[in-house]
Amino acid sequence: MSKTEFIAEPGKQEIVMIRSFAAPRAKVFGAHVDPLAIPKWWGPRIVTTVVDKLDARHGGLWRFIQRDPSGNEYAFRGVFHESRAPERLVRTFEFEMMPEHVLLETVDFEETGGATKVTTRSVFQTLAARDGMLQSGAEGGAVETWDRLEEFLKA
Amino acid sequence: MSKTEFIAEPGKQEIVMIRSFAAPRAKVFGAHVDPLAIPKWWGPRIVTTVVDKLDARHGGLWRFIQRDPSGNEYAFRGVFHESRAPERLVRTFEFEMMPEHVLLETVDFEETGGATKVTTRSVFQTLAARDGMLQSGAEGGAVETWDRLEEFLKA
């Protein structure tokens, strides 16, 4: 069984993911807002991730570029609505090849006994957009990214 | 019957509002991003609205302050994810007295025969937050705001 809880109820335009990491909250939060950390865990293993922008504050931009083994590049971007260290991030998310679709992502960090529970709640503009994301294999990618985060936090 | 279609289906964490305005799209879009226009139509008639910030571009901030007849002030704020004149706005929305709740608002402007159909789709982080907004009387406020927008566009 995966350590990542991935919840996508039928008929709801959201995806919720939950996982506990054996690291203090400040470190887990930091991995999300540090431009030097992101390339070490964000995205699937097969791609290389470059941080173009990562400015975690109200109105700050983020933009990550992924390069696959064939040299193709794909970018993701968004805007931070909130960055309240080490508790919560609220930001928009867009895959630049599908600019019609924007989602709102809320990431909560809760510490209990030295471990940190991360809950990511992504809400989509429409149910169809949520279902499209599921069909694109979002679950596998998300689980792999969080496996990588766990390894990064242990290193 | 109200000219505003207000759609809030049970179990869905969104509110959709639709209304046609007898004005060209560029003018209707402009009323949403012009700091001089907002005080003339945004919000209920009983309050005075002051634009603190309105910077309609990716990463730009907006913040509007409302003053009621007793002198109490309430502020609303958010970040623009996108401003594609005269077609679409995508932005976050927060009532500063309830900073736990952020919603993502997509506003589409479609012109047909000189009239402009505006569709606003607000998606909430949770169903409970959407239902809370409904209970706070969101529909009456939204209808009044769009009545005011119609008057502003005619003036």
The enclosing domain of A125 has a CATH number of 3.30.530.20
Cα-based distances in Å from A136 to A6, A9, A18, A71: 15, 16, 20, 21
Q: Would residue B137 count as lying in a domain?
A: yes
The residues facing B95 across adjacent strands are B76
A38 DSSP 8-state letter: G
Q: How many domains does chain B have?
A: 1
Q: Would residue A61 count as lying in a domain?
A: no
- Min Cα distance B62 → chain A (Å) is 10
Q: Would residue A96 count as lying in a domain?
A: yes
Nearest to B125 among A11, A123, A125 (CB): A123
Decide if B106 touches A, using CB distance below 8 A: yes
Count CB-CB contacts under 10 A for residue A42.
19
Can you give the length of chain B in residues?
155
C-alpha A70/C-alpha A72 separation (Å) is 6
Decide if A98 touches B, using CB distance below 8 A: no
Token pair recorded at residue A72: 């193709």
Q: Which residues of A touch B81 (CB under 8 A)?
A: 78-79, 92, 94, 102
- Min Cα distance B127 → chain A (Å) is 9
Q: Would residue A60 count as lying in a domain?
A: no
pLDDT tens readout for residues B64-82: 999 999 999 999 999 999 9
Over residues B32-51, the mean pLDDT reads 97
Decide if A104 touches B, using CB distance below 8 A: yes
Chain centre to alpha carbon of residue B77:
11
Is B79 in contact with A94 (Cβ distance < 8 A)? Answer: no
Which of A:10-29 have CB within 8 Å of B? 11-14
Q: Would residue A134 count as lying in a domain?
A: yes
pLDDT tens readout for residues A18-74: 999 999 999 999 999 999 999 999 999 999 999 999 999 999 999 999 999 999 999
Q: Would residue A70 count as lying in a domain?
A: no
H-run or E-run covering A80: strand A73-84
Q: What is the pTM of this model?
A: 0.95
Range of the domain at A147: 5-43+84-154
Q: Are A70 and B49 in contact (CB under 8 A)?
A: no
**pLDDT grade for B137, boundaries at 50, 70 and 90:** confident
pLDDT tens readout for residues B139-148: 998 999 999 9
Q: Which residues of B touch A14 (CB under 8 A)?
A: 13
Is B127 in contact with A61 (Cβ distance < 8 A)? Answer: no
Q: Could you give the ipTM of this predicted complex? A: 0.94
Decide if A108 touches B, using CB distance below 8 A: no
Q: Would residue B35 count as lying in a domain?
A: yes
Is B79 in contact with A81 (Cβ distance < 8 A)? Answer: yes
Q: Which residues of A touch B93 (CB under 8 A)?
A: none
Q: Would residue A89 count as lying in a domain?
A: yes
